[in-house]
Structure 1
């Protein structure tokens, strides 16, 4: 019964957010609004951050931020359990994500991701990977932020996988730092496996399930950055992963 009541409350709010707020945000994603920086933040970036923050609230998440995201060009790297990770990070800082090409076909999120400057990668294609790396370097050199999930895929939420080192190469080439970000759902991260995709669970099924979940905390921890260095992208990957693991284990 409680889940039904949550659907009855949240579904109209979600529909309102999509039909009223979304067109306004999309209208603000243009070269003209990008020139306005009220409070030092681009107007289009501020709009996307606001929209994502409201979406998190509609889904019942009370977002708590720890630490401060670096300004300017930075490679943000985070653990990955679900599509909502992107919205959680966007609620705090605008960044263009690197994501699998399949996301572009997801309802709503795929469309928003494309408008938000997502860089798509076709898995198994070396040509696609080369293009992704090139786009990442170009954006970082332009002073923009890029977000990646170095595990390469979503996990079950009960452990953090190995970080692929090659995704850090653009940071080395552009000479910008990588900032690890730990994403925790629930008190002390006790809802990681709930938020994560279930076995064979589709995006739409996960979307609907999360919409009916009880209210809970979502924590985003911006951790100590790792400077770009020539002594190896592997070192950057391992250091970022170690800091995220440590943050996840801290209650």
Structure 2
């Protein structure tokens, strides 16, 4: 891992150990339903190229797990000659499933996602773009690929934190993907992901640190009344400018904080503090 790689202080200790659990018979039904949905998707021939098929498959995964999807706001894409760069905070592997259930777009994900059991082959067949997030050498090529997709009218979804956090919006947004939006003259759509059990925020869906996918999936299957909220914010219009400022504006929209003031040449401002669930385990590196 290089010195510039994104890092998070979150690890499996941040995940709610006392989260409400579903009854055992319901857990067994969810496990069987999840297996059937994924097996059916993998058995279908070819790529999952049809957006409505992708959306239906993603929604079926959520339904099998009894994860309720709450969608606030409009579409992820923005009408216009280019695609839209969609940016969101990153908490869980469920983020990808929830976003595809709202609107299928091209996902940008780290290589390891493709190796996850069950879900990995599914997202591969949905047309996900995979990258090595620890390789600076690949970065210019990745930016160019994203810009090409945007120019071709395809919307691309990225998680600019570069790493998962237990809750909220921790750490800065990496700026490379925003350069692709500037190069393509594409709008940026901020999106906020939140997880709840009943009405309370929860970290039970978080997939952080050296967590194991099977353990994370098990927590989701056992969780009672789990809900994911996808809040789609107003798009930031395409305009030539500073990718640092664009990334900061997008992060502020995702976090629900005031947008930072415009940068003034010769004056340096400190980075905004992380926004989210503040607990010692979450915000202090372990």
Q: Tell me which interval the TM-score lies in, with the shorter structure as reference length.
A: 0.7 to 0.9
Equivalent residue of 1:151, what SS?
A: coil
Contact 2:33 2:65 in 1 (8 A): no
Deviation per residue, 1:152-178 (Å, 9 max, x gap): 011121543211112211111111101
Distance 1:226 1:124 in 2: 28
Matched with 1:203 is 213
Per-residue deviation at 1:140? Answer: 0.8
Deviation per residue, 1:107-142 (Å, 9 max, x gap): 122212221222211133223222211211111111
Matched with 1:153 is 163
Matched with 2:191 is 181
Matched with 2:51 is 45
Matched with 2:201 is 190
Q: Report the aligned-residue RMSD.
A: 2.2
Distance 1:245 1:195, change over 3 A: same
Contact 2:190 2:250 in 1 (8 A): yes
What pairs with 1:92-171 in structure 2 (closer than 5 Å)?
92-171=102-181
Which structure: greater helix fraction? 1
Distance 1:188 1:143 in 2: 38
Matched with 1:245 is 255
Per-residue deviation at 1:84? Answer: 0.5
Contact 1:3 1:213 in 2 (8 A): no
Distance 2:140 2:199 in 1: 38
Is there any run of 5+ residues in structure 2 with no aligned partner, and where?
Answer: 1-20, 258-274, 277-286
TM-score, normalised to structure 1's length?
0.85
Question: Taking CA–CA contacts closer than 8 Å with sequence separation of 6 or more, which of the two structures ends up with the larger relative contact order?
Answer: 2
1:5 to 15, 19, 25: 25
Is there any run of 5+ residues in structure 1 with no aligned partner, and where?
Answer: 31-43
Contact 2:41 2:122 in 1 (8 A): no
Deviation per residue, 1:165-201 (Å, 9 max, x gap): 122111111111010001111156601x221125532
Q: Which is greater in Rg?
A: 2
Matched with 2:70 is 64
